[in-house]
Amino acid sequence: MRVAAVLALLVVVGLFAWRQMAGDGPGTQRGARPPAPVTIIEVSTRSFRDRIPALGTLQAWESIDITSPVSQLITGIEFEDGDRVDRGQVLATLRQDAELAALSELRTRLADAQREVKRLTDLARRNQVAQTDLDSAQTEVEVIRHQMSEAEARIADRTIVAPFSGVLGLREVSEGALVSTGQRLTTLDDISRMRLQFTVPERYLSALQPGMPIVARTAAFAGEFRGTLAAIDSRIDPVARSVTARAELPNEDERLRPGLLMEIELTGDPQEVIMVPEESLQSRAARHFVWKLDGDQVRRSEVRIGHRTPGWVVITDGLAVGEEIVRDGVVRLSGNTVPVRVVSG
């Protein structure tokens, strides 16, 4: 009996405690939610420029490998490492004794053939020789001239010249070496200005326009290098979902070299857009919300965002100029509507 009485007492005490915690006991009332203190900002437009970051690699304005067009011995080298050369300047010569001898012989034959043409022309005027003999002599002159052009082309193949002005790289052969067809002797780069090639995500395609200013930086040098966007590829990479673009950078002091990695920032034209402070935005996964003032309460409203700048976010949809939203105090808000007390910022 004593155990049953104790158990009954415990049950009564537990029920009383549960009723008190539930707020259903005598004299208890659930308190109303107090207004949350917030500061308010009026939605307006601000000037904004698209800033597109990217990484790119520098390329020379013109760049080639200087190679041998034929297999032959090198008889002369006319350059050293890093020389600056002009277009048409001789860089190296290959053995061409046979070609020079053949050209000399052809010149002698040409002179003899031309004398014969002159002699036959005089005789033809007096009808002392057949016209066919004169025609054959003239044909011989033309054949020899073609043979001379061929010999001169073979000599040109064995005389390696700079196709444009620029800076040579390191010399990779020595005089007297036997080089094979296509073997590299050195490199030639025109670095008076540079091409900067880079890729950007396809979502920025509408913001890219030839002539846009760019700012480039590299770990190799302090400071900034400024240029302009020159061209945009006609195709999108379907795998990387990016587009390739090319910019032009001046390089009068020739500090920049091909192959440098550059950090790039492109800047678009200024435009007026709706922007809100970052602290006004409340995000849930990929969804974004602001709190609009409605009398003495605020309502949660979904918005779409665009680019960001330090401290501000571009709103592309969901807000209109003149509406009032919460700036400070968003962390105190939850649900869909909340009573608020507007305080001065």
DSSP for 208-272, written as a single string: --TT-EEEEEETTEEEEEEEEEEEEEEEEETTTTEEEEEEEEE-TT----TT-EEEEEEE---EE
CA 307/CA 46 separation, integer angstroms: 13
Average pLDDT over residues 118-133: 86
CA 341/CA 55 separation, integer angstroms: 48
Average pLDDT over residues 54-62: 94
- pLDDT category at 11 given cuts 50, 70, 90 is low
Q: Which of 81-95, 168-182, 307-321 has the lowest mean pLDDT?
A: 307-321
Do residues 189 and 252 touch, judged by C-beta distance below 8 A?
no
Phi, psi of 176 (to 5 degrees): 95, -10
Count the Cβ atoms, other than its own, within 10 Å of residue 105.
14
291: part of which helix (H) or strand (E)?
Answer: strand 287-294
The residue count for the chain: 345
The tokens describing 148, both together, are: 């001379």
- Per-residue pLDDT tens over the stretch 227-284: 999 999 999 999 999 999 999 999 988 899 999 999 998 877 778 889 999 999 998 8
Model pTM greater than 0.85? no
Domain range 52-61+190-267, CATH architecture? Beta Barrel (2.40)
Q: Would you state the pLDDT for residue 75?
A: 94
Count the Cβ atoms, other than its own, within 10 Å of residue 223.
8
The tokens describing 325, both together, are: 């939203």
Average pLDDT over residues 2-13: 56
236 or 3, higher pLDDT: 236
**Mean pLDDT over each residue of the chain, to the nearest integer:** 87
CATH fit for domain 96-157, picks 1.10.3470, 3.40.50, 1.10.8, 1.10.287: 1.10.287
Average pLDDT over residues 9-38: 57
* Residue in this structure with the two tokens 């005027």, named with its chain if needed: 125
User: Torsion over CA of 192, 195, 196 and 197, rounded to 10 degrees?
Assistant: -160
Angle CA 90–59–83, to nearest 5: 30
Q: Would you state the pLDDT for residue 13?
A: 54
Domain boundaries, the chain: 36-49+271-342, 52-61+190-267, 96-157
Q: Would you state the pLDDT for residue 256?
A: 93
CA 42/CA 327 separation, integer angstroms: 9
Q: Would you state the pLDDT for residue 4?
A: 57
How much of the chain is helix, strand and coil, in % rounded to 5? 25, 45, 30
Burial code (b: 16+ CB inside 10 Å, e: under 16) for 240-261 equals: eebbbbbbbbebeeeebebebe
Domain range 36-49+271-342, CATH architecture? Beta Barrel (2.40)
Radius of gyration of the chain, Cα coordinates, nearest whole angstrom: 42
Do residues 148 and 103 touch, judged by C-beta distance below 8 A?
yes
Angstrom distances, CA of residue 118 to CA of 101, 110, 148, 270, 288: 26, 12, 20, 78, 95
